Amino acid sequence: MTPYRIALYYAPAINDPLHERASAWLGRDAVTGAALAQKPISGVDIAEVTADARGYGFHATLKPPFRLQSDVHSALQAAQEFVARTAPFALPPLQITDLDGFLALCESLPCAPLQVLADGAVTALDAHRALPTEAEIARRKPGILSPRQREYLRDWGYPYVFAEWRFHMTLTRRLTPTEKALILPAVTEALGDAQALGRTISEICVFAQAAPGASFTILERLTLRG
Banded pLDDT at 16 (limits 50, 70, 90):
very high
Share of the chain above pLDDT 90, in %: 98
The predicted structure's pLDDT at residue 139:
93
For residues 23 and 207, what is the distance between their CA atoms, to the nearest angstrom? 15
Where do the H-state alpha helices sit in 125-217? 134-139, 147-156, 177-191
Instruction: State residue 70's pLDDT score.
Output: 84
Mean pLDDT (whole number) for 134-147: 95
CA-based diameter of the chain, in Å? 48
Give the pLDDT of residue 2: 87
- Does pLDDT of 143 surpass 90? yes
CATH of the domain at 55: 3.90.1140.10
Cα 219 versus chain centre, distance: 14
Per DSSP, the three-state class of 171 is coil
Q: What is the pLDDT of residues 151-184, one digit of tens each?
A: 999 999 999 999 999 999 999 999 999 999 999 9
The answer to whether residue 141 is domain-embedded is no
Q: Residue type at 184?
A: L
Going by C-alpha positions, the residue among 56, 59, 63, 69 that lies closest to residue 160 is 63
Q: How far apart are CA 216 and CA 30, in angstroms?
A: 7
pLDDT at 225 over 80: yes
Query: Averaged over 74-84, what is the pLDDT?
Result: 97
Residue 56: per-residue pLDDT: 98
* 65 pLDDT more than 80: yes
Residue 130 lies in a domain: no
Predicted pLDDT of residue 173: 98
pLDDT greater than 80 at residue 1? no
The mean of the pLDDT values for the chain is 97
Does a structural domain hold residue 190?
Answer: yes
Q: How many CB atoms lie within 10 A of CB 65?
A: 20
Could you list the residue range(s) of the whole structural domain that residue 100 is in?
A: 5-109+167-223
On whether residue 209 sits in a domain, the answer given is yes
Nearest-CA neighbor of 5 among 53, 55, 65?
Answer: 65
pLDDT in tens, 191-211: 999 999 989 999 999 999 999
Residues in CB range of 29: below 8 A, 6 or more apart: 23, 36
- For residue 80, being part of any structural domain is answered with yes
What is the pTM for the complete model shown? 0.96
Confirm whether 127 is domain-assigned: no
How many structural domains comprise the chain?
1
Contact partners, residue 81, CB within 8 Å, separation at least 6? 124
Angle at 63 between CA 60 and CA 67, to 5 degrees: 125
| Cβ-based burial of 115 (10 A; exposed 0-12, middle 13-18, buried ≥19) | middle
Q: Is residue 12 in some structural domain?
A: yes
| In a domain? residue 154 | no
Q: What's the pLDDT band for 39 if we cut at 50, 70, 90?
A: very high
Nearest to 121 by CA among 48, 170, 66: 66
